[in-house]
A and B are shown apart, each in its own frame.
Chain A
Amino acid sequence: MTARLAITGLMKRFGGVVATDNVTLDFAPGSLTAIIGPNGAGKTTFFNLITGKLKPDGGEIRLDGVDISGQTQSEIVRRGIGRAFQVASIFPRFTVEDALTAAVLTHRQQTSSMLRRFPLPDAASRAREIMALVGLERVGKTPSRYLSHGDQKLLDIALALALEPKVLLLDEPTAGMGPEERWQMIERVQRLWSEVGMTLVFIEHDMDIVFKIAQTIRVLRYGKVLAEGTPDEIRSNEAVIEAYLGTSLEEPA
Chain B
Amino acid sequence: MTARLEVLAGVVLGALVVALTLAFGDKALLDVLMRLAIFGLLALSLNILVGYTGLVSFGHAMFFGLGAYSFGLLMQSGAVSIPSAALITLVVACIWGGVVGTFCIRLDDIYFSFLTLAFQMLLYSIIIGWVSLTGGDQGLMGGIPRPPFLGINLAEPRQLFVLIVVVFVVCVLAIRQIVQSPFGFALRMIRDNAERARFLGLPVQRYKLIAFVLSGFFGSVSGILMSLYVSGAYPNFAFWSMSGDAIFMIILGGLTVFLGPLVGAAVFLLLNDNITRLTEHHGIVMGVVLLAIVLGMRKGFLDVLDEWWQARASRAEARAGGDRQ
Contacts and interface: CB of A to CB of B under 8 A. Distances in A.
B195 interface: yes
Given A78-B201, A106-B200, A118 B181 contact: yes
Interface centre among B3, B186, B195, B199 (most CB of A within 10 A): B199
A106 B2 contact: no
Q: How large is the interface on A (under 10, 10 to 19, 20 to 34, 35 or more residues)?
A: 20 to 34
A169 B3 CA distance: 40
A92 interface: yes
A107 interface: yes
Interface centre among A78, A98, A103, A110 (most CB of B within 10 A): A103
Dominant SS at the A interface?
loop
Contact of A98 (B185, B199, B200): B185
Contacts of A120: 182
Contact of B201 (A77, A112, A117, A119): A77
A97 B203 CA distance: 22
Contacts of B181: 113-118
Interface stretch (A7-15, A83-91, A188-196, A216-224): A83-91
Interface centre among A98, A101, A109, A118 (most CB of B within 10 A): A118
A98 B185 CA distance: 9
Interface in B174-226: 177-178, 180-186, 188-189, 191-193, 195-203, 207
20 contacts: A73-B199, A74-B199, A77-B200, A77-B201, A78-B201, A83-B199, A89-B193, A89-B196, A91-B189, A93-B188, A94-B189, A102-B185, A105-B182, A106-B189, A106-B197, A107-B201, A113-B182, A113-B183, A114-B178, A117-B180
Contacts of B185: 98, 101-102, 105, 111, 118-119
Interface in B219-271: none
A114 B185 CA distance: 10
Contacts of B182: 102, 105, 110-114, 116, 118, 120
A74 B196 CA distance: 11
Given A73-B198, A117-B3, A102 B178 contact: no
A150 to B, nearest CB: 19
